[in-house]
Amino acid sequence: MYSESDLDAAVAAGKLNAEEAAKFRAFIAAQKTAPAVDEEYVRLLTGFNDIFVSIALVLVLVALGFLAAPTGASGLCVAAASWGLAEYFTRKRRMALPSILLLVFYTVGVSSSLIWMIGLNFGTGLALAAGNFVPGAVSGTLLLCPALIGAAAYLHWRRFHVPITPAAGAGGIIFFGMAMLMGLVPSLRPFWSWLLLGSGLGVFALGLRWDISDLARTTRRTDVAFWLHLLAAPLIVHPLFHMLGLLNGGAGGGGAIVAIGVYLALGVVALLVDRRALLVSALGYVIYALSFVLKHSGVIGSDLSYTALVAGMALLMLSAFWHKAREGLLALTPLGVRQALPPV
């Protein structure tokens, strides 16, 4: 299995010229009866060896974390080991899934190290982000955390260029940023949903920026944008659904219908930017809202399987007519906006 970045590397090394690479992409697109730009390729596996190595990495890093736990340096050890292992499995072997896992372990390790260094544990760190814990004397130290997690992600990106790194860094910055604001400015806690929504829109804008830099989707930039969009959708949908009362049991049928409308609007955006990831990462929320509407309208009972069937059939229909739907939607889009979107 070869990815777009592998083709780019072959062109850069002189093994293929740009014209040959373009002809190969066109051939694969013709075989799939869809343009490559619409296929949203994401490199997750290069072979079963990726799965084999990934299982081994999880065993090693989890065991290392538990062994180092009594010293209090569990996160630091996991982060250091993840970086060291990435030198081989990411830089030399270019393995997709192991690289993603190593980046995740590295980010979690750095994050837990920061929480430990400011005198908290991971449980109180989660409570802090939720606005249920007042850090007191360590509040000043919290100011450094978003910058440190961002710097750690940036260094990893500069060294390994794993596409998920910007999304992981953004997630860490948002987590520590929310923790910092909730801890230092308690009066902002009632507005956490608006802050999280703003963060989600910011991540979405960042994903669009990466997308616009590679409209043909033939470089690593498109993978980076994919992970950013995957992160952005729940950051946008979760606070919206909370404000509608769906997550605390205070919603009525009208709120649930509005929530489904929000998801449909997200679907229009997903079609415009050609990113199915926006729909997938917010799917759980809309299934919950749809179940709420159907149950309270007396159409079905409480069985979630009916709701999943309806949502699944809708997504299958959208998948079957994705390219036609995009074509029709882009025809209605102003030319200036259309030029900044992936072509049909």
pLDDT 10s digits, 60-79: 999 999 999 888 788 999 99
Does pTM top 0.85 for this prediction? no
What is the Cα 67 distance to its own chain's centre? 30
Residues in the chain: 344
d(CA 181, CA 131): 9
Convert the pLDDT of each residue in 98-123 to its tens digit.
Answer: 999 999 999 999 988 887 776 655 55
Locate the domains of the chain by residue range: 1-33, 43-184, 233-344
Q: Can you give the pLDDT at residue 59?
A: 97
Over residues 168-193, the mean pLDDT reads: 84
| C-beta of residue 86 within 8 angstroms of C-beta of residue 102 | yes
Over residues 274-298, the mean pLDDT reads: 78
Convert the pLDDT of each residue in 117-144 to its tens digit.
Answer: 766 555 555 555 555 555 554 555 667 7
Convert the pLDDT of each residue in 198-234 to its tens digit.
Answer: 999 999 999 999 999 988 887 888 899 999 999 999 9
DSSP line for 122-141: HHHHHHHHTT----GGGHHH
CA angle 223, 271, 242 (to 5 degrees): 90
d(CA 323, CA 87): 40
| C-beta of residue 152 within 8 angstroms of C-beta of residue 110 | yes
Q: Is the pLDDT of residue 288 over 60?
A: yes
d(CA 265, CA 317): 17
d(CA 304, CA 302): 6
Instruction: Look up residue 1 and give its DSSP letter.
Output: -
Question: 4-13 — which CB contacts under 8 Å span 24+ positions?
Answer: 4/41, 4/43, 4/217, 4/218, 4/219, 4/220, 4/222, 5/43, 5/219, 5/220, 5/223, 6/94, 7/218, 8/218, 8/219, 8/220
d(CA 272, CA 325): 9
DSSP line for 42-64: ----SSHHHHHHHHHHHHHHHHH
Q: Which residue is listed with tokens 């910011």? A: 202
DSSP line for 141-160: HHTTHHHHHHHHHHHHHHHH
| C-beta of residue 195 within 8 angstroms of C-beta of residue 188 | yes
